[in-house]
Amino acid sequence: MRVLVTGAGGQLGKDVVRLLEKAGHLVLPSDRDSLDITDYAACLKCAQEFKPEAVIHCAAYTAVDQAESDSAGAYAVNAVGTRNMVLASERVKAKFCYISTDYVFDGTANSPYQEYDNTNPHSVYGKSKRAGEVLVQSLSSTFFIVRTSWVYGLHGQNFVKTMLKLGQEQPVLTVVNDQKGSPTYTVDLAEFLLRLIQTEKYGIFHASNLGECTWYEFAQAIFEEAAQVLGGDYPVQVKPCTTEDFPRPAPRPRNSVLDHLAIRVEGLEDLRPWREGLKAFLLELKAGQG
């Protein structure tokens, strides 16, 4: 299969490219240096020259707090850039897979969000990603919209790496305990995307590692698993706090847990529990350090 991957230099994109190539697919990785997705002519030229059968659109403006003061930048990438890639994909009849986020919901629900629950983003980032979803649904004839949450992996900065670093530098860490979600390992998400694009099960999917926890519980698990997998001592004490204790420019959803209704209905293989994904990541991290 010929697959064009945007955002190929990012945390998820790098694993998507690696796993696609490992599976024997012909991949064109593109990043911001090789393809300006805000330029439609450039997107069309890229698609017409490579002629992909599928496009996995990982490119995104993900600086959640910065977006609050840079809405034009967020919409240029997440809405206009997505529209350009969809139109280019349609011209060459390629399937289109758009990576979206839990931030399209307001986080006030008492239960996990299903794919067709009403969206109500409160942050500029969430609104711009929802705008991308609407454009994909409006303009693509063969699309997958995959919402995920709390992503971490070997490439780039993320919560797990930050905790491991701070855990060796500070005796006490204070972590938010009133926001819950599902930590998602990039490799597990990438493997799901590879399976999905080879089907014709178009529509919206929620894909995250199974189960839920708060950021505080996630931090505790990171240190527990790291002590076993990485060895060494993590004497850090983790204390819970509230969202109000750590004010940020962009509002965070209190409930980011995604229900995988579409995966069950479509009979697809689900992602493993989040704690198993965390162990696998730490093993990958250890192998990279060896």
Catalytic residues: 125
Longest CA pairwise span in the chain (Å):
56
For helices 274-289 and 186-197, give the axis angle rounded to 10 degrees: 110
- The span from the CA of 80 to the CA of 74, in Å, is 9
- The span from the CA of 82 to the CA of 135, in Å, is 7
- The span from the CA of 178 to the CA of 184, in Å, is 19
For helices 82-91 and 40-50, give the axis angle rounded to 10 degrees: 40
Residue 104 is given by DSSP the state: G
Q: Are 232 and 289 in contact (CB under 8 A)?
A: no
CA 212 to chain centre: 16
CA 142 to chain centre: 21
- The span from the CA of 56 to the CA of 197, in Å, is 8
Buried b (16+ CB within 10 A) or exposed e, 173-193: bebbbbbbbbbbbbbbbbbbb
> What DSSP line would sit under 22-85, residue for residue?
HTT-EEEE--TTT--TT-HHHHHHHHHHH--SEEEE------HHHHTT-HHHHHIIIIIIHHHH
**CA torsion angle for 283, 284, 289, 290 (degrees, to 10)?**
70
